[in-house]
Amino acid sequence: MSIYRPQIGTPLAELDTPCMIVDLDALEHNFDVIADLYADSPTKMREHAKNIKTPIILHKQIRAGGTMGGICTAKTAEAEVMVEGGLTDILITSQVVAPDKLARVAALSKIADIKLSVDSDGPLNELSRISSEMGADVGVVLEVDTSMGRGGVRAIERGVELAKMTNDLPGVTFRGVMSHQSLAAGADNDRESRFIEGRRYIQMCLDVKDAIEAEGISVDIVSTGETWTYDVAPEIPGVDEVQGGTYALMATQADYMDAFQYAVKVLSTVISTPESNVAVGDVGYRAMTSPGGVLPRVDGIVGVEVESLEADVIVLRSDGEMPLDVGDQFLLLSAQQDIMVNRWDQFVAVRNGKVEAVWPILARGCHH
């Protein structure tokens, strides 16, 4: 199978479409925001790999500064790719229960600093058994459910119980606590509202940390936060790491985070203009996404909106005469990047209107 790979120096206008591009100036701006904010803070970024899936990009943030030198992954397979890519401090943020996957986590821990999120005793006991049999030691980070309504302990007492259990088991070492927050439905997304919500949720994680420490158990890591609390978490004493991801590439669902710029975009070409105010582009939902029905946004063309996203085409409609004609190119912004990036083989990195690099998305399809 041959994958289209543009030559370095190719002008944007000559790229075959559809094409997912990353604006290097915007990407580096976003990384510099993090580097500047966290430069003198005890809180550091632990960037999430689940949306970027590309070691090269994650290394760029670490080199820019503001990080603790490691990353998060959502899946074991992602962690394996990242270790192969030279990233050796990894927190796997989703629970792992299958024995074969626990063995893979234990194997990784023999060549990298691996920490695994846990929230129940069954998988914890199995991890201990497998890890000790393999002569490994896996770091354990207790997940606390603060607002997501999914994984994580929901009572302080349960968190303390699991921390104590971890301390008594071979092959594992208790390392800390973590949480991930969602902005409350209906909440305003202004800075004041974000800070109120963020402090409330993150404090719930810190309460579990305090209770564990009260039992004489050391808590080395408090890993919490995300893009919408990237500036909240550093102001809360006791937070060590922020698990940010969206900020790097940006998405329209987070456009209230105006410190960051849109770095990832999809270039498309008009292939039909069936009506005077309608244009059809050559990209569809096999290459883009509309999570929750939120359609992509046309970038930089006033009065033109996305009407529908089909399997292989996108339909645009304008307020008046359509300013795009057959053969014209346009850029699209995605509502959410995790799903979209997973549908592509590579980032085409662009600066000043020309291709500067092509980066393979090595963790594409790492669902296990």
The answer to the question of residue 216 being in a domain is: yes
Classify the phi-psi angles of 292: left when phi > 0, otherwise alpha if psi is within -120 to 50, otherwise beta. Answer: left
pLDDT at 149: 85
**How far, in Å, CA of 127 to CA of 232, rounded?**
34
Give the count of beta carbons closer than 10 Å to the beta carbon of residue 50.
21
Q: Mind listing the pLDDT tens digit for each residue in 238-273?
A: 999 999 999 999 999 998 999 999 999 999 999 999
Angle separating helix axes 156-167 and 121-133, nearest 10 degrees: 20
Return the amino acid letter for 359: W
What sign has the CA pseudo-torsion 270, 273, 278, 284?
Answer: negative
CATH (domain of 227): 3.20.20.10
Whether residue 282 sits in one domain with residue 239: no
CATH (domain of 340): 2.40.37.20
The answer to the question of residue 208 being in a domain is: yes
**How far, in Å, CA of 161 to CA of 112, rounded?**
27
Give the count of beta carbons closer than 10 Å to the beta carbon of residue 293.
7
Confidence of residue 292 (pLDDT cuts 50, 70, 90): confident
Average pLDDT of the chain to the nearest whole number: 96
Whether residue 294 sits in one domain with residue 245: no
Give the count of beta carbons closer than 10 Å to the beta carbon of residue 34.
24
CA 165 to chain centre: 30
pLDDT at 257: 92
Structural domain of residue 228, as residue ranges? 24-249
DSSP code, position 149: S
CA 300 to chain centre: 25
Whether residue 98 sits in one domain with residue 16: no
User: 245 and 294 in contact (C-beta within 8 Å)?
Assistant: no
Whether residue 217 sits in one domain with residue 200: yes
Query: Could you give the percent of the chain with pLDDT greater than 90?
Result: 92
Full DSSP string of 29-42: HHHHHHHHHHTT-S
Q: Mind listing the pLDDT tens digit for each residue in 83-93?
A: 999 999 999 99
pTM: 0.95
Whether residue 317 sits in one domain with residue 176: no
Whether residue 245 sits in one domain with residue 113: yes
* β-strand pairing of 67-73 with 44-48: parallel
Confidence of residue 185 (pLDDT cuts 50, 70, 90): very low
Whether residue 153 sits in one domain with residue 77: yes
The answer to the question of residue 255 being in a domain is: no
Half-sphere exposure for 365 (CA within 13 Å, toward CB): 5
Residue 260 tokens read as: 């960051």
Closest CA to 102 of 71, 81, 72, 133: 133
End-to-end Cα spacing for the chain: 24
Whether residue 283 sits in one domain with residue 238: no
The answer to the question of residue 2 being in a domain is: no
Whether residue 328 sits in one domain with residue 244: no
The domain tally of the chain equals 2
